[in-house]
Amino acid sequence: MLCPHCGSYAGDNEILCPGCGALLDRSQNSADSGVRGIRQGRKGRSGPASSAGSASGRRGSSRIYVDPAAKAYTRDMPVFSDTQIYDEDGRVMETSSGYSRPARTVYGETGMTATVNIRKPRGKVHTVNRHMINWSHVIIALIVVMILAVVGVWLYLTKTQGGQRIMARFGQEANSAAMWEVGEEALDTGDVETAIHMFEQARLQDGDENVDVDNLLLLCNAYEADGRLAEAEALYTEIYTDITPSAPDAYRAVIRIMLADGRAPEAAELMQLAYEKTGMVTFRNQRTEMLPMQPMVDLVAGYYEEMKTITLSSPQGYDIYYTFDETAELPAGGVKYEQPIVFEEGTYALRAVCVSGNLVSDPLSATYKVYMPSPQTPRVSLAPGTYKQRQRLWLKPGLENEKTSKTPEGDKETDITIYYTIDGSEPDIDSPVYTGEKFYLPGGRVTLKAVAVNGYGKASNTLEVGYKIESGPKPLSAYSVTDDVVNGIKLYETTRESFQQTYGEGKGMEEITLTGIDGVCQRYSYDWGYATMAKIKSGWVVAELYFASGVFKGPRGTGIGDAADFVVGKFRDMGQVVSPSGNRGLYETDDGKGKIYLQQDGGQLIRYQADTADGHTWQLDYNVSSGGTVESIHMLYIP
């Protein structure tokens, strides 16, 4: 049967429509109804055809088209080439091809009517003409496609990284990232010249604000591949100096270049810098393996209270250069080590290096401080004061130094020597040494001074004690510039004219200089000696007088040929004993001093000095021969 809903054909045993799935009503289907009846030449039981929505219940068009292949009717125009139309008796009327059919009523199996269009035969069949091609539309479409293609290519080249790489390869303007990539491609293929060009252009584009160290290292590699080592080293140096001090690759590259160029000392310095900046121990280990080992010293740096001697050595037998100058450059500014070094008192900042060819080890640095202890102030047996009788006294070291003083077993700290004076001068190594024997003090006012010196040469504070001894002969007065003159001649006062009136112009004159006197002086020679004149504002005056004959008499009745003891007996003498050097102090006051100096020929020089009111000094010397008599007298003005 045909489905009353969709017109699909259903078998006799089917309950549901295979087309729309609706329930089929078999009660309304009979052999004499619908299309079957029409095909068999029977009339349908339905009345005239009705429009959509009639009592038949069928939906759709009022026309029914019959598909002869499917043996069914349908409201839709069937899509097949040869539609057959049947009449009321089921006979084939026409085909759909080439005919125009009028509307006609047909009867279905259920007796319902439907209107069909029946084409009537046309008198003439006309051929249908096809439309012609519009070429203007085609051209416009092609132009649009081309424009879109050009825009797409432009967008690809300018807006994508792949397009920028293409631009860079063809030498066109591109971004720096593309040029770095194209340059790296060229470097990988061995086109070093192109790589360098691309890298340099990209670096210019990046400027100083967009620096990429990895890219700069590529440029350095290209420079090296092209043999431009100086430029590569300069750029590597710029990287670790100004851009990234912690970048190890730049250090490694420069170190490699330096070692290949025979610049090992520079490479060693750079290894140290690389270790400090990057913290990578490989740089330190590389440096250690290349350089000589540090010198070794047998004394630990530190503080010592005695003189020390140190010995330097090289573990590999290399030369050693050392210095105590903090500003000196080693090894050029150092001293070659050849023998042990002695440290006396003081601070020593030692630096030393081992040298092998042009390689220099890391410096050995050690600071030694040697400060030897000072002894205690010596003691004296006589308390200060006034005494009516001459007094004997003794000196002793301080209590802590006394136990082992001057004993072979004593160390340098307790090996004490006491120097003392009673002539008023400060004790020093040219003063008498106390031997342990008591000694007398002279009459009058006496000042005892003493110091203790240990084996390190350290001196104690000075012991100073004043006494007044009322018995015994008192010392004479000291040499005086007002009273002690020679034949009335006063230095720096007696004029040249007055002197020459008495003693003549001499045998000749020569120009000389005297210490402390500005300008040239005139020395006039005589048979008895010479006289030297100095120029002052008022004219020429006597500044020096030397005589070796009896023409002149010295102060206080002394003269040529007098014994040394006679001369000394005319001036102040505190009775101080001779020092170990052979010298003996006579006296020392605020206005002058007297002292006897032992000469190399065995003679003596008795020297007195007196200060003038204006702060100058007169000096009087008696030159005594080894026989003990005065050979000459010399008077000198010292500004």
Query: Percent of the chain scored above 70 by pLDDT?
Result: 81
Q: Looking at residue 404, what is its pLDDT?
A: 54
Q: Looking at residue 96, what is its pLDDT?
A: 45
Q: Looking at residue 454, what is its pLDDT?
A: 87
| pLDDT beyond 70 at 215 | yes
| pLDDT beyond 70 at 95 | no
pLDDT digits (tens, 9 = 90+) for 19-46: 777 777 665 544 444 545 444 444 444 4
Say how many CA atoms lie within 13 Å of 204 toward its Cβ: 7
Q: How confident is the model at residue 406 (pLDDT cuts 50, 70, 90)?
A: very low
Evaluate if pTM is beyond 0.85: no
Residue 62 included in any domain: yes
Q: Looking at residue 1, what is its pLDDT?
A: 67
Phi-psi region of 528 (alpha: psi -120 to 50; beta: other; left: phi over 0): alpha
Write the CA distances from 634 to 452, 481, 621, integer angstroms: 37, 14, 5
Report the alpha-carbon angle 631-632-633, nearest 5.
Answer: 145
- Tell me, yes or no, whether 286 and 301 share the same domain: no
Average pLDDT of every residue of the chain: 83
pLDDT digits (tens, 9 = 90+) for 579-598: 999 999 999 999 999 999 99
Lowest mean pLDDT among 111-125, 154-168, 451-465: 111-125
Grouping H, G, I as helix, E, B as strand and the rest as coil, residue 414 is coil
Average pLDDT over residues 95-114: 47
| pLDDT beyond 50 at 100 | no
Q: Do residues 616 and 639 make contact, with C-beta atoms less than 8 angstroms apart?
A: yes
| pLDDT beyond 70 at 57 | no
Residue 22 included in any domain: no
| pLDDT beyond 80 at 101 | no
| pLDDT beyond 80 at 125 | no
Q: What DSSP letter does each residue of 35-100 carry, written as one string?
A: HHHHHTTPPPSS-SB--TTSTT---S-SB-EEETTTTEEESS---SS--EEE-TTS-EEEESTTEE
Q: Looking at residue 344, what is its pLDDT?
A: 87
| pLDDT beyond 60 at 612 | yes
Token readout for 459 is: 């001196």
Higher-confidence residue of 243 and 455: namely 243
Residue from 218, 165, 222, 232 nearest 190 by CA: 222
Q: Looking at residue 492, what is its pLDDT?
A: 93
CA 306 – CA 414 distance, rounded (Å): 12
Q: Looking at residue 173, what is its pLDDT?
A: 84
Q: Do residues 489 and 542 make contact, with C-beta atoms less than 8 angstroms apart?
A: yes
Average pLDDT over residues 374-392: 93
Residue from 358, 380, 523 nearest 451 by CA: 380
Element (H, E) at 607: strand 604-611
| pLDDT beyond 80 at 206 | yes
Token pair 């009503």 is found at 25
Q: Looking at residue 110, what is its pLDDT?
A: 47
Rg over CA atoms, the chain = 68
- Tell me, yes or no, whether 316 and 448 share the same domain: no
* SS (HEC) of 506-517: CCEEEEECCCCC
- The residue range of the domain holding 413 is 379-469
Residue 23 included in any domain: no
Write the CA distances from 376 to 238, 401, 434, 461, 510, integer angstroms: 64, 7, 16, 7, 56
- Tell me, yes or no, whether 166 and 284 share the same domain: yes
- Tell me, yes or no, whether 192 and 271 share the same domain: yes
Across 158-162, 302-306, 599-603, which has the greatest mean pLDDT?
599-603
The number of folded domains in the chain is 5
- Tell me, yes or no, whether 196 and 101 share the same domain: no
| pLDDT beyond 50 at 328 | yes
Grouping H, G, I as helix, E, B as strand and the rest as coil, residue 622 is strand
Lowest mean pLDDT among 57-66, 70-79, 262-271, 382-391: 57-66
CATH code of the domain containing 336: 2.60.40
- Tell me, yes or no, whether 435 and 539 share the same domain: no
- Which residue, 290, 325, 357, sits at the end of a domain? 290
Average pLDDT over residues 50-59: 40
Grouping H, G, I as helix, E, B as strand and the rest as coil, residue 340 is coil
CA 472 – CA 475 distance, rounded (Å): 10
Phi-psi region of 423 (alpha: psi -120 to 50; beta: other; left: phi over 0): alpha
- Tell me, yes or no, whether 191 and 245 share the same domain: yes
- Tell me, yes or no, whether 150 and 286 share the same domain: yes
Residue 547 included in any domain: yes
Residue 629 included in any domain: yes
Average pLDDT over residues 130-135: 75
pLDDT digits (tens, 9 = 90+) for 170-187: 888 888 888 898 988 889
**Contacts (Cβ under 8 Å, ≥6 apart) of 148:** none
- Which residue, 314, 335, 370, sits at the end of a domain? 370
CA 594 – CA 506 distance, rounded (Å): 32
Q: Looking at residue 50, what is its pLDDT?
A: 40
Residue 131 included in any domain: no
CA 223 – CA 364 distance, rounded (Å): 40
Residue 2 included in any domain: no
- Tell me, yes or no, whether 529 and 615 share the same domain: yes
Residue 128 included in any domain: no
- Tell me, yes or no, whether 71 and 152 share the same domain: no
Q: How confident is the model at residue 126 (pLDDT cuts 50, 70, 90)?
A: low
* SS (HEC) of 42-55: CCCCCCCECCCCCC
Q: Looking at residue 513, what is its pLDDT?
A: 94
Phi and psi for 61 in degrees, rounded to 5?
-70, 155
Report the alpha-carbon angle 48-49-51, nearest 5.
Answer: 140
Q: How confident is the model at residue 118 (pLDDT cuts 50, 70, 90)?
A: very low
* SS (HEC) of 122-163: CCCCCCCCCCCCCHHHHHHHHHHHHHHHHHHHHHHHHHCHHH
Across 74-83, 95-104, 205-214, 505-514, which has the greatest mean pLDDT?
505-514
pLDDT digits (tens, 9 = 90+) for 505-548: 999 999 999 988 989 999 999 999 999 999 999 999 999 999 99
- Which residue, 370, 400, 427, sits at the end of a domain? 370
| pLDDT beyond 90 at 61 | no
Q: Looking at residue 131, what is its pLDDT?
A: 62
Residue 565, burial from CB neighbour count under 10 angstroms (0-12, 13-18, 19+): exposed
Residue 31, burial from CB neighbour count under 10 angstroms (0-12, 13-18, 19+): exposed
- Tell me, yes or no, whether 362 and 458 share the same domain: no
pLDDT digits (tens, 9 = 90+) for 479-496: 998 889 999 999 999 999
Bond from prior residue into 102 cis (ω within 30 degrees of 0): no
Q: Do residues 510 and 483 make contact, with C-beta atoms less than 8 angstroms apart?
A: no
Q: Do residues 543 and 532 make contact, with C-beta atoms less than 8 angstroms apart?
A: yes
pLDDT digits (tens, 9 = 90+) for 539-593: 999 999 999 998 999 999 999 999 999 999 999 999 999 999 999 999 999 999 9
CATH code of the domain containing 217: 1.25.40.10
Q: Do residues 407 and 437 make contact, with C-beta atoms less than 8 angstroms apart?
A: no
Q: Measured in whole angstroms, how far is the alpha carbon of residue 406 from the centre of its chain? A: 57
Query: Percent of the chain scored above 90 by pLDDT?
Result: 55
Q: Looking at residue 531, what is its pLDDT?
A: 97
Q: How confident is the model at residue 158 (pLDDT cuts 50, 70, 90)?
A: confident
- Tell me, yes or no, whether 227 and 329 share the same domain: no
